[in-house]
């Protein structure tokens, strides 16, 4: 039986550990050739270490696949371009980019430093744009030369970005930006044979192990929330079977998969001329509007609305 991604070439960023590692291994098991990108820093983005990426490459080669290491900082625009060129020069082309690299520097907004903000926005948001830009240039040039593309960009948002989470204004803002970036990129690249989708994953990894809800998980719950389920979705979205799917944000938590729907206009009213009269108008809108979601994409807790358990 043919594998889902037989002969396709993929770059996976942040692929040395956690969800990215699972992406790389599963894509390789489905026949893809992989550029395993990882700077090798800690969860806050400090330091470098090539060994995690090298270990993933060795594991892929051990299963009979093809893979190479790339240690670029994805937020370095030129280095991201060199990474795309490395894939093309080594494997003869590029079909898939999975933008997964990320860091955490969680703080309440009033305690967050400028460097905490800049580092997280840089790695997540610019680190999604830079590889995507260089790949899009390559695919557009191919299309203009009469070549056909069946290409994929798969980005990584978060429930923190699309639903919100206390202590993560930097991370959530970056992840919300990535979700919108994906929707707009899908519009821009459709005519070049490129789909763009986004995941908002929840999985037990080193980045989530200390977060509320994850820090008290049993081994059975950790297994049920393992990153291999996120990789499952990526492997399918990366395949030719997903050619008609684009511009979507997939909420994936364990074996559950759903689509996070975009912002929609809710209740409306006519404004009074005097701003002093807005109080009753806004009160009416608030009474009609659906409550904001919790981290599971469900209405906030309240009478008769218990929080969903992991």
Is 158 a catalytic site residue? yes
| pLDDT 10s digits, 144-188 | 999 999 999 999 999 999 999 999 999 999 999 999 999 999 999
**Tokens 């997903």 sit at which residue?**
242
What pLDDT is stored for residue 305 in this prediction?
38
Is 175 a catalytic site residue? yes
Q: Which domains can be identified in the chain, with CATH numbers? A: 9-260 (3.40.50.720), 266-310 (no CATH)
Active-site annotation holder among 33, 126, 138, 158: 158
CB atoms within 10 A of CB 229: 20
Give the Cα separation of 266 and 256 in Å (integer).
27
- Average pLDDT on 272-280 reads 96
The answer to whether the CB of 74 falls within 8 A of the CB of 107 is: no
Contacts of residue 284, defined as CB under 8 A and 6 or more positions apart, other chains included, come to 267, 269
Active-site annotation holder among 138, 163, 171, 204: 171
The answer to whether the CB of 153 falls within 8 A of the CB of 196 is: yes
The answer to whether the CB of 105 falls within 8 A of the CB of 118 is: no
Query: In sequence order, what DSSP letters do the residues of 91-123 get, joined into one string?
Result: HS---EEEE-------B-GGG--HHHHHHHHII
Is 171 a catalytic site residue? yes
Higher pLDDT residue, 153 or 40? 153
**Tokens 């955490």 sit at which residue?**
104
Active-site annotation holder among 126, 163, 175, 235: 175
Q: What is the pTM of this model?
A: 0.91
| pLDDT 10s digits, 48-97 | 788 999 999 999 999 999 999 999 999 999 999 999 999 999 999 999 99
Give the Cα separation of 91 and 190 in Å (integer).
24
* Residue 309 predicted with pLDDT over 70: no
């Amino acid at each position: 039986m043919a594998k889902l991604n037989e002969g396709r070439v993929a770059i996976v960023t942040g692929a040395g550990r956690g969800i990215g590692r699972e992406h790389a291994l599963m894509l390789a098991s489905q026949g893809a050739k992989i550029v395993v990108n990882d700077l090798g820093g800690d969860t806050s983005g400090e330091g470098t270490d090539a060994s995690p990426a090298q270990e993933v490459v060795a594991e892929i080669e051990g299963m009979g696949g093809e893979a190479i290491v790339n240690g670029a900082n994805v937020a370095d625009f030129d280095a991201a371009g060199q990474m795309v060129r490395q894939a093309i020069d080594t494997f003869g082309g590029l079909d898939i980019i999975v933008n997964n690299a990320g860091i955490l520097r969680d703080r309440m907004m009033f305690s967050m430093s400028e460097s905490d903000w800049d580092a997280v926005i840089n790695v997540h948001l610019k680190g999604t744009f830079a590889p995507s830009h260089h790949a899009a240039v390559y695919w557009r040039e191919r299309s203009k030369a009469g070549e056909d593309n069946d290409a994929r960009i798969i980005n990584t948002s978060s429930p923190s970005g699309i639903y919100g989470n206390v202590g993560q204004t930097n991370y959530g803002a970056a992840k919300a930006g990535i979700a919108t970036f994906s929707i707009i990129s899908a519009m821009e690249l459709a005519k070049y044979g490129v789909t763009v989708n986004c995941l908002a994953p929840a999985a037990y990894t080193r980045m989530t192990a200390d977060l509320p809800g994850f820090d008290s998980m049993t081994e059975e719950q950790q297994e049920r929330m393992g990153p291999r389920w996120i990789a499952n979705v990526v492997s399918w979205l990366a395949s030719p079977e997903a050619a008609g799917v684009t511009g979507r944000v997939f909420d994936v938590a364990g074996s559950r998969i759903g689509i996070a729907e975009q912002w929609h206009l809710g209740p409306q009213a006519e404004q009074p001329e005097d701003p002093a009269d807005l109080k009753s108008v806004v009160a009416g809108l608030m009474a009609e509007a659906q409550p904001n979601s919790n981290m599971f994409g469900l209405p906030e807790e309240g009478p008769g609305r218990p929080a969903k358990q992991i």
